[in-house]
Amino acid sequence: MKIVSYNVNGIRAAINKGFVDWLESEMPDIIQIQETKAMQNQVDVDFLRMLGYEIYWFAAEKKGYSGVATFTKIHPKQVIKGLGNEFFDAEGRFLRLDFEDFTLINSYFPSGTSGDIRQEKKEEYLELVLNYTNELRKSIPNIIVSGDYNICHKPIDINHPEKHEDTSGFLPQEREWMDRFVASGFVDSFRKFNDKAEQYSWWSYRGGCKPKNLGWRIDYHMVTEGLAGKLTAAWINPELSFSDHCPVYIELHL
């Protein structure tokens, strides 16, 4: 089973840049999209049905903002939209699909780069997610939490870490939350297979960061420990340029 997570920074823009052809050639079993920036009725999704995908969409109430969507060839037993928090659910950040053998969560974590208020909301969201997964694991042991976390966990995950110690996305309290999330029973799937530096999933559009590979690894598939042994591969595709992010992949044998 191949699962992809991809912050497309606008699904309509990505489609105009070749997303459809890429998906047709890639054909993952499940693809999770963050930052759709569109309502489902604003996008021609017939191509997804033609490729055999079921479509689950959770848009923000504000047009052109945030939003997540999951396209799957495997029919879920249950779909839950939102965390049950009015503020964050209005921003379309959390989509859960329950399958026979595991639960898949698609999340677009808030950014704190626009100021202190948004940073506080980001940290509130982090605690909500941790509490949610802690509770969920009491009844469902196999969970994958995929998406754009907007956090670099370790110095190896960011270019020139010494320059970013006071920057949202690499703040001590954010990295400490990642430590607690892992300690709660999650495994960073990519680092299970790749411990090299300069492996990034996001590059600022400013200053020619992509050609210089001045990036951040902020997109993850975090899997519970019981699923980690079923991982057969995890990788990043930095060559794809439909967005300022690139897709991240896992393969599992279930």
Please give the Cα distance from 122 to 111 (Å, whole number).
6
DSSP 25-57: HH--SEEEEE---S-GGGS--HHHHHTT-EEEE
User: DSSP H helical segments within the chain, as ranges?
Assistant: 11-16, 19-26, 46-50, 86-89, 116-136, 172-183, 189-193, 209-212, 225-228
Which residue numbers are catalytic?
148
Element spanning 7, H or E: strand 2-7
Identify the CA nearest to 238 among candidates 209, 206, 208, 199: 199
Q: What gap in Å lies between CA 106 and CA 41, rounded to an integer?
A: 20
154 close to 185: Cβ distance less than 8 angstroms:
no
* Cα angle 157, 108, 237; round to 5: 50
The CB density around residue 54, as the number of other CB atoms within 10 Å, is 16
CA angle 237, 239, 240 (to 5 degrees): 80
Coil, strand or helix: which one is 98?
Answer: strand
Q: Which of 5, 1, 63 is nearest to 34 (CA)?
A: 5
Residue 148: CB atoms within 10 Å: 27
